Amino acid sequence: MKINPNYLKLNERYLFSQISRKVSDHQARHPDQTIIRLGIGDVTRPLVPAVIEAMRRAVAEMGEPATFRGYGEEQGYGFLREAVCSYYSRKGVNLSDDEVFIGDGAKSDLGNILDLFSADNTVLIPDPVYPVYVDTNRMDGRRMAFARGSEDNRFLPLPDLQVRADLIYLCSPNNPTGAVYTAEQLRQWVDYALEQEAVILFDSAYESFVCDDQLPTSIYQIEGAARCAIEFGSFSKTAGFTGTRCGYTVVPRALSLDGASLNQLWLRRQSTKFNGVSYIVQRGAQAAFSEEGLRQIKADIAYYQHNARVIAETLTELDFWFVGGEHAPYIWLKCPEGLSSWAYFDDLLTRCGLVGTPGSGFGTNGEGYFRLTAFGERSQIETAMTRLRHGSLSLRL
């Protein structure tokens, strides 16, 4: 018997588990200190009324013989896939419902999609980046190259024509930096993928935070993307489903490799390894895309966007360099006084009782930077910024 040796190459702890341990140790030493967490990107607003009502009706249906449902459709119920298609039509993107696959979240599908691709492929990943992109490929032993984000490119790296890639991860708005690609920048990535005969894995988990109609919220708003891109959507940050679990993956029928349809391969994979998301949750997700649901969700998004402005205004006042916040729930700042990202983490926790996310946890190019999240209650965000002002002053003194 042999284990997969690639698992031994992973960091011992997942980034957010490491943060949780450090915070727990600090709290044990300082039990009277109130800790404000601006680290993990978990939502705090409850599910909106339209979603709750739809789920209650679905629960009632499951309690009646005439409306009880057992196993669902392998791709997800038709009513939700059609709702996703309708949502995309608002963006000017036409999908058929057999190109949409309902899953239990973008994180799962971003890892599971790799089942379709050989471990011999080379993967191009932005740096800094959501750690799951790196770890899931490391588990399979794939070669990885990195597109380096920096202050010079405002953490929006563009293709290097000298780099060969088979799979390309893109996330816009980006986690962790909050930076958003323009249509022209995404066009460069699509052209590069088509030239390389590569597949883009496009993570659009934060698309609902984009408040500028000139910025794309789907890779399919770029001509040619249906021939080279798979898109992953999520209800987690859009509709507060982090504890409810629902997402979707779009695999266009036009996308094929070596004469094989990736749409059909993904259907085969899902029908074999995945039994679907519960009917109750899918009814809630459908309601999130209703007119009333979208209106209610927009109010919650606006709440987080206001939080982001509060953080951004404070950082501007304190003369921090940062990106993000305008079209994303994340703010990516440069650590003050030349501190490393973990040193700044310890400093904020010790002196201010604030928890953020060290940039080095997102990759080599994240060192010296730090992520704050706008997910949280308004009063806590305001208190956190008051503490940050006082802490920054004492640090400089």
Say whether both 18 and 39 belong to one domain: yes
Q: What is the pLDDT of residues 22-56, one digit of tens each?
A: 999 999 998 988 999 998 789 999 999 999 999 99
Q: What is the pLDDT of residues 71-106, one digit of tens each?
A: 998 899 999 999 999 999 999 999 999 999 999 999
Whether the pLDDT of residue 394 is over 80: the answer is no
Average pLDDT over every residue of 54-62: 98
Same domain, residue pair 30 and 92: no
**pTM here?**
0.95
Average pLDDT over residues 307-335: 97
Are 231 and 145 members of one domain? yes
Does one domain contain both 255 and 271?
yes
Which CATH number does the domain housing residue 382 bear?
3.90.1150.10
> Which of residues 292, 321, 337 is at a domain's end?
292
Q: How many CB atoms lie within 10 A of CB 169?
A: 22
- The pLDDT score that the predictor gives to residue 391 is 82
Mean pLDDT, residues 165-189 taken together: 98
pLDDT of residue 16: 80
- The reply to whether 351 and 286 lie within a common domain is no
Burial class (CB within 10 angstroms; exposed 0-12, middle 13-18, buried 19+) of 381? buried
Q: What is the pLDDT of residues 218-266, one digit of tens each?
A: 999 999 999 999 999 999 999 999 999 999 999 999 999 989 999 999 9
**Cα–Cα distance list, 335 to 210, 341, 384, 395 (Å):** 26, 7, 17, 12
Contact 44, 377 (CB under 8 A): yes
Does 315 score more than 50 pLDDT?
yes
Residues 107 and 139 in one domain: yes
Q: Which of 6-10, 163-167, 179-183 bottoms out in mean pLDDT, i.e. has the lowest? A: 6-10
Q: What is the pLDDT of residue 15?
A: 79
Strand, coil or helix: what is 45? coil
- The per-residue pLDDT for 397 is 44
Spatial CA neighbour of 193 closest among 227, 221, 143 = 227
Domain CATH for 285: 3.40.640.10
What is the pLDDT, as a whole number, of residue 20? 87
User: How many whole angstroms separate alpha carbon 155 and alpha carbon 144?
Assistant: 19
Banded pLDDT at 13 (limits 50, 70, 90) = low
Q: Domain of residue 70: give its range.
A: 49-292
Whether the per-residue pLDDT at 59 is higher than 90: the answer is yes
Structural domains in the chain (count)? 2
Residue carrying the six token digits 């590569």: 198
Residue 270 structure tokens: 């899902």
Question: How far apart are alpha carbons 146 and 332 in whole angstroms?
Answer: 19
Query: What average pLDDT does the structure give for the chain?
Result: 95
